[in-house]
């Protein structure tokens, strides 16, 4: 069960700060203070508490992958055999070190693992799939190429 911010001791002002920072992580403390009608030191202290409590994990810049030459966004479904702990750990380690892998999840269903990757073109995708087939324990690889991005957000609902 999801624990709400209020259940964790945060209030509506904390929620307003988080909503604004999710939209724009570069919003200044002064701008936040004006928007929520609090002093700058009070907003600063609230942000520091949200960071200490792990609610705010980090601040990042979201880059346009296509502007950087990554024309393909792909989802790679991997089936692992055997399901031995050491085999899974080795695959996870190899995947974690691969820079084109943006996200990796162990999942239930027809695959054991789903990767979100970006590559320059189909040649780079073919190289990645070939590299994966060399890893011990990878039984099957299915790749889906994203044709159109319908929604992309990093904002979590706070209500």
pLDDT at residue number 7: 87
Tell me the average pLDDT of the chain. Answer: 96
Give yes or no for residue 2 having a pLDDT over 80.
no
In angstroms and rounded to an integer, the radius of gyration of the C-alpha atoms of the chain is 20
Q: Which two tokens stand for residue 142?
A: 């299915």
pLDDT at residue number 1: 53
DSSP state of 6: G
Answer whether 117's CB lies under 8 Å from 102's CB.
yes
pLDDT at residue number 3: 74
Please state the rounded mean pLDDT for residues 109-134: 97
C-alpha torsion angle, residues 26, 56, 7, 23 (rounded to 10): 30
Instruction: Give the residue among 57, 59, 46 at the shortest CA–CA distance from 14.
Output: 46
Number of residues assigned to the chain = 159
Percent above pLDDT 70 for the chain: 99
Percent above pLDDT 90 for the chain: 93
pLDDT at residue number 63: 95
What is the crossing angle of helices 12-23 and 29-36, to 10°?
A: 130
pLDDT at residue number 6: 87
Q: What is the 3-state secondary structure (H, E, C) of 69-129?
A: CCCEEEEEEEEECCCCHHHHHHHHHHHHCCCCEEEEEECCCCCCEEEEEEECCHHHHHHHH
What is the crossing angle of helices 40-52 and 29-36, to 10°?
A: 110
Please state the rounded mean pLDDT for residues 93-115: 97
Q: Which domains does the chain have, with CATH numbers?
A: 7-52 (1.10.10.10), 66-145 (3.30.70.920)
Buried b (16+ CB within 10 A) or exposed e, 36-46: bebeeeebeeb
pLDDT, tens digit (0-9, with 9 covering 90-100), for 17-76: 999 999 999 999 999 999 999 999 999 999 999 999 999 999 999 999 999 999 999 999
Terminal CA-CA length for the chain: 14
Please state the rounded mean pLDDT for residues 103-111: 97
pLDDT at residue number 159: 80
Single pTM value for the model:
0.88
């Amino acid at each position: 069960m999801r624990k709400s911010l209020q259940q964790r001791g945060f209030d509506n002002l904390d929620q307003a700060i988080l909503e604004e920072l999710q939209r724009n992580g570069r919003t200044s403390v002064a701008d936040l203070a004006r928007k929520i009608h609090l002093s700058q030191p009070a907003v600063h202290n609230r942000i520091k508490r949200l960071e200490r409590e792990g609610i705010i994990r980090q601040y990042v810049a979201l880059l346009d992958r296509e502007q950087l030459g990554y024309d393909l966004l792909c989802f790679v479904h991997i089936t692992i055999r055997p399901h031995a702990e050491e085999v899974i750990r080795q695959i996870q380690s190899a995947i974690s070190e691969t820079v084109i892998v943006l996200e990796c999840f162990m999942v239930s269903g027809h695959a054991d693992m789903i990767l979100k990757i970006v590559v320059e073109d189909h040649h780079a995708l073919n190289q990645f799939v070939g590299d994966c087939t060399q890893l011990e324990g990878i039984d099957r690889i299915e790749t889906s190429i994203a044709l159109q991005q319908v929604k992309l957000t990093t904002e979590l609902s706070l209500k």
